[in-house]
Each structure stands twice: as structure tokens, then as C-alpha cells.
Amino acid sequence: MPPKAKTLVAKIAGLKAERDRIAAEERHSLGSLLPTDPKQRNEIFRLLIKLPIISDFLYGACVELQNTLRRHGLNELTMTHRVAQISAMSKEFAFLLTNFPELEKILSDDDLLISALDKKVDSFLSQRMKIKK
């Protein structure tokens, strides 16, 4: 390989390494991306955390629905494909928190909240909609 080509290859490799380093830093420094005003930060944190938690709840509901449809022999419904898509997207969004070390623990600690949401939704369906479990 000619010296000029070697130099270009080395520069390209260096630029790729720098890009990867910057991407890794950005991925792990959520705090530096947010406003410095505590009130604004909290507003963003609440929503940033709320959506993945709800996505985790939605993912669980999708898995439960898929299992129930299978159990009743309804695997081939169009709805099954759509539920699988929703399930995949909600799981991906729920795991968004794992990109930020300071928020990752929430995803593993949200089981109690997800369980409470399940009970609340079941209660609503039973009482208001008259749909029994």
C-alpha cells in the first residue's frame, strides 16, 4: 500500500475511534446534556423515567396477551403480529434506561410499581368496565 494510502487509512481509523469515544461519553453523561436549573432537570427526569416504566408495563401486558392468545389457539390472528411489534418496541424503549448508569437501577427496581399498575388496571376493568379476570 502506498504511504499516502496508509496515512489516510490511519487518519480514518483515528477519526472512527474518536467518534466512538465521543458517542460512549455522550451515552454515559445524561446529566451533562440536561439543563442546569434543578426544576427543569426534575421535569425532564420525571418524564424520561416515566416513559420507560410505562413501556415496561406495556411490554409485560403484551407478553401476557401473546401467551393468552397462544393458550387459546389464536396464534394466527393479525393482532398477534401487531402485539409482537408493540411488544418489541416497548421493550426497546423500556431498556433505554440501561444507556444511563444513573437511571439503569430504576428498570430493575420497577417490579413493585408494575405489579401495582397491573392491579390498578385490573381493578378498573372489573369495577368500571365490568370485565372480570
- Given this model, what pLDDT does residue 30 score? 61
Give residue limits of the domains in the chain.
1-33, 47-127
pLDDT tens track for 53-82: 888 888 888 888 888 888 888 876 767 778
The answer to whether residue 93 scores a pLDDT higher than 80 is: no
- Given this model, what pLDDT does residue 81 score? 78
Q: What share of the chain is helix, strand, coil (3-state, %, to 5)?
A: 85, 0, 15
The answer to whether residue 5 scores a pLDDT higher than 90 is: no
- 27 vs 65, higher pLDDT: 65
List, as own/partner pairs, every contact residues 86-93 make where C-beta atoms lie below 8 angstroms and the sequence separation is at least 24, other chains included. Answer: 86/58, 86/62, 87/59, 87/62, 87/63, 90/55, 90/56, 90/58, 90/59, 90/62, 91/55, 91/59, 93/51, 93/52, 93/55
The answer to whether residue 83 scores a pLDDT higher than 90 is: no
The answer to whether residue 106 scores a pLDDT higher than 90 is: no
pTM of the prediction?
0.61
